Chains A and B, each alone.
Chain A
């Protein structure tokens, strides 16, 4: 005990003038002036100014002057730095320095519906703006030492836990008592899409995380205007709106997602991303966000084992090759960004990677800016650090050479006027640990880097595909119009629309494609799909989740888009899963391979929402069974309650206007009541189908479509009477109790009764051959071929309210057209070309060509990785990427997975 006291006393006994004044000292005071003069140095004042042979004067923690002809006052310790350099010390705007690691939740959901935190806090533990990192920050001398050795003097310390994470603090690395090192106790408010240590089930998905954050913004707005509720979380949330807002969003798609939230609420986030922005640099730039970028470049894969090689995808290899070009790409695009050590195995790895980035085109000036002034500005300490100017803190490093030179050594790091000697001459002989540069820097990428592809995955295109004027000549044309199936007819596509359908059409300027012996049809429309989404397709933690939107999580890089184009699909309705009675809002997309997520969206289409009945919503085959409802009886009351509340909410809104708390969940239900949003309801057995029809009748809303609807054949007359559409499976059954009486004649019966009937996939595999599923309507019940094909084209278009744009070959409709080798209902039919808006996104011949090119690109990259390994670079074992294939029942916990990734990373 005595020993500890002694060492503490020692630490305290030597203090600089500025030190905390409130602390008592045990023994005599030892207060020092801290006056130093650094002479004959190349002083890099900032990235824009260098003073050769200059003098820097500091007193205590403050810079007194920087210049050339400075006379040195008496009483200064003079340090001659001839030939050496002084730089502002580096700043990292994104660390968790000095803060405990979040205790990340793992394992299955525990049916914890509201916060377990005691006190007047918000309902969801993932929203924790009351977290003030400055109140539990504690300097960590080991980590500070590592950071100082890499050249850092100041960092932003963020508690990386939760969706609203509270405030971070800006702190120097001087190893002094926290009272004197904290430069900005509330440097920024922090956010992410990950719920971290929250024990609440909600949200389980990325779209749920987005909805929760949006609702929090609205709640905070409401909170400021009301007096009934006291809520610490919302109060704090409001208080921290005027400081910088940092959003941790991994990957360019999440950058776009975060920016969309920012736009909605008039915010401008500083976004910490993951370094893949080069893949869509224009889109990232368009957000206007400034970024914090890691430079933990991907290690080359060890490609010695040819069998394991096959586990690495082209996207992984290209990402390895192109990641080092990211900082240069950001600079070139004029995006403001800082660099962070976050994600590096050790801060010192920064230098190896910085040099790699410089080799790939990043300028030294930008590198310095991104490590000094820019991060300083981001966290509100630009008046204190980032440049070497009078009055700022004496935070600087002394280097043997120009900072970015390979031979350079960071010799000293001064933090708040406190000297840390990192390198002594005699050290050089025996030890190189202080030498922050890696002995073997990554080999210079002299050979060219491959091209960007859109999307950044296999089958991506280097140049965007173009809309063409095309005349499909002499085909069997399935019009889906009253003309029926035309023999030896032509279809003309122009400006993305169908220009003409008929015989012997005038060619004009169009490219003529001889389609003799082929069949030309409208593109296939999948009423029930779960592709092209990310971060989970179910937000099943609550029985109602109408606030979540699939629109928020569209993933343009999903290879299933391409695979389904190869099966003639042109439009898909991406639905929320079926884990709860009222799911999330759907998103209709066109399969525009290579476009941005927003560009996939089907413009001008009505909004839909997913409802569900049966075993999934009552959690028969999964879960703890603690979430209401667990019976079909409870399912009914879930709907009754929600619609009743929505009606009351609606009339409240009408009376009191915007003083009513905006409820995203109820807003969606009100849209249904107002016929502005339409229901697609997952359904199986007749009792529940009947039930929902009655609930709808009694509460005054309409059901647009029953999807799956496997016992629709038992209540077809009732559906018909209400004008409800049916989208079913062709022949699925027996996989659970509620499909024990699912029959393949279902489609036929409903069709014969007069219901608009479709076949859907709910499956990334089956969607590739929906034309054949339509063929099964011929097999089971003898539906006429023309009608059967409408099951996957015109009928889904009708039920999605887009039959004025797609679904048939009518002049003026979108040029979403498929050329088949055979009758499209036949097993022998192959989609040879699939046009969306007149663009041939799928072409069976071009596909063969792409595969060839891909083979050689893979070979080139594998060779490059071998070379890299031979030159001594670190490698990693090939890792197959985890693929996410969703169907209705996919209950993936996005947050858990994020936590898992975090943990895995920690263990590496």
Chain B
């Protein structure tokens, strides 16, 4: 009761103070009791499904998972959740997002994702990640429980970190710090017919790109040399930040769209012995065998996009991920946005509708993502030893018609699924319902 009153008081504050509206949604306490979920259709995340499952987790880790029809489970001393007819999914993971780095796109003061400068490997997204943003709570309500918080801007944008979406501060949130370095591959803009831009000849544009590529190559060459130097005479924080790329502990995510650019980007990373991942990769479908040979994973753009040209198959954006996955590539579903992340499950649903097996589509927002982000030892699928980060949905979570997240756990913690939107819904629905009586 006291609690309810508190909510009410807060919500009645004037608009200007509304940023505190969800201050009551606290991160969940650590798991204190072994918990067993019985009877759900469990989507492992690796392509397998257990129709009638059990899932046991303790101290934040999964200790048992399997077919409930053939196993006998000792439930004494455990919390038991009956989830017959329901679905269990590994927590969905959103890669390459500026979630928590931006609150209101049109308000400059809330924008912390795009630093100035061309080569910014020393920039770290994690330190700006705002756990008090109102957005993550709306996102996890649909099953997205982890995200790779990623800087943008410049050619080398800096390092991302992987976080879980129920934390007091960024330190608590971090699952993997500085998991990847992000590079925007210099690209010659498409030569366009018209538009309000100065008329620059195609050759000038090409020249610019060429120069930028040279500068990039030089930067990497010097950074590598720096990494190999025991005690550099002068400290260079940019180069120092590149060290983990060269020792293999950090990956290089390269945003590239065109066929030529993707090939150049992959070769570039290879030359420096760096593990690369292609982000975007609009034309990757044209060079699948090259990508497969080089073992390159692709973080695709969301299918909710228009075709890239008038002549393109009108449904190509829906089909693209399926085409790549069916060609044998590791495909990860990306969404380069923040509030829209609550639609991530439906992106996987879309590609399932347009040519990809449903469980494989699910993998593009679970295990494939975890692998590409380097967190698959603890996340991405529901297997023994991994974090108990998952949710229970009343129906198929990849379909908006049936997605209904009833309970979600992050590292075993039973998280509060409330959010600003649910609170406002309640506030005003209550008003009108009261009126009806």
Q: Interface residues, chain A, CB within 8 Å of chain B?
A: 106, 307-308, 310-311, 313-315, 457-459, 559-560, 562-563, 566, 615, 620-621, 713-714, 716-717, 731-737, 740-741, 743-745, 748-749, 752-753, 764-766, 768-769, 772, 775-776, 778-781, 785, 822-823, 825-830, 847, 851, 854, 858, 877-883, 885, 893, 896-897, 900-901, 903-904, 907
Contact = CB atoms under 8 A, between A and B. Distances in A.
Interface of B: 15, 18, 103-107, 134-135, 142, 190-196, 199, 202, 258-260, 304-307, 309-311, 313-315, 338-339, 342-343, 346, 349-350, 352-354, 398-404, 420-422, 424-425, 428-429, 432, 435
Smallest CB-CB A-B distances: 9 pairs: A827-B349, A745-B425, A736-B106, A743-B421, A734-B339, A458-B311, A775-B400, A827-B399, A828-B353
Nearest to A778: B401
Given A458-B310, A745-B421, A775 B305 contact: no
A495 B436 CA distance: 47
A313 B195 contact: no
Contacts of B199: 903-904, 907
Given A732-B339, A828-B399, A882-B194, 11 more contacts: A307-B258, A734-B339, A741-B18, A772-B400, A780-B421, A780-B425, A823-B401, A826-B401, A847-B314, A881-B310, A903-B199
B106 A310 contact: no
B18 A829 contact: no
B432 A749 contact: yes
Contact of B192 (A308, A620, A882): A882
B306 A827 contact: no
A737 B343 CA distance: 21
Contacts of A765: 304-306
B311 A858 contact: yes
A735 B304 CA distance: 17
A893 B354 CA distance: 38
Contacts of A731: 342-343
A740 B106 contact: no
Nearest to B354: A830
B311 A880 contact: no
Nearest to A745: B425
A310 B257 CA distance: 13
B401 A785 contact: yes
29 contacts: A307-B260, A308-B191, A311-B190, A457-B310, A566-B314, A713-B425, A716-B428, A732-B339, A734-B135, A735-B339, A740-B18, A741-B15, A743-B420, A743-B424, A749-B425, A749-B432, A753-B432, A826-B399, A827-B398, A828-B349, A829-B353, A830-B354, A847-B314, A851-B313, A883-B310, A885-B306, A897-B194, A904-B194, A904-B199
A683 B394 CA distance: 35
Contacts of B428: 713-714, 716, 749
Nearest to A851: B313
Given A716-B432, A877-B202, A779 B401 contact: yes
Contacts of A737: 104, 106-107
Given A772-B400, A904-B199, A827 B350 contact: yes
Nearest to B343: A731
Nearest to A457: B310
Contacts of A879: 191-193
A736 B104 contact: yes
Chain B, interface SS category: loop
A745 B350 contact: no
B227 to A, nearest CB: 35
Nearest to A738: B106
A524 to B, nearest CB: 15
A766 B125 CA distance: 30
A744 B421 contact: yes
Contacts of B104: 734-737, 740
Contacts of B422: 745
Contact of A734 (B105, B349, B398): B105
A743 B313 CA distance: 34
Contact of B435 (A717, A735, A744, A830): A717
A229 to B, nearest CB: 37
Contacts of B349: 827-828
A880 B304 contact: no
A763 B401 CA distance: 22
B425 A752 contact: no
A309 B135 CA distance: 42
A84 B88 CA distance: 92
B314 A459 contact: yes
Nearest to A900: B196
B309 A880 contact: yes
Contacts of A560: 306
A894 to B, nearest CB: 11
A880 B310 CA distance: 10
A827 B401 contact: yes
A127 B345 CA distance: 55
A497 to B, nearest CB: 28
A713 B424 contact: yes
Nearest to A459: B314
A313 B310 contact: yes
Given A313-B310, A826-B399, A827-B353, A877 B191 contact: yes
A778 B400 CA distance: 7
B339 to A, nearest CB: 4
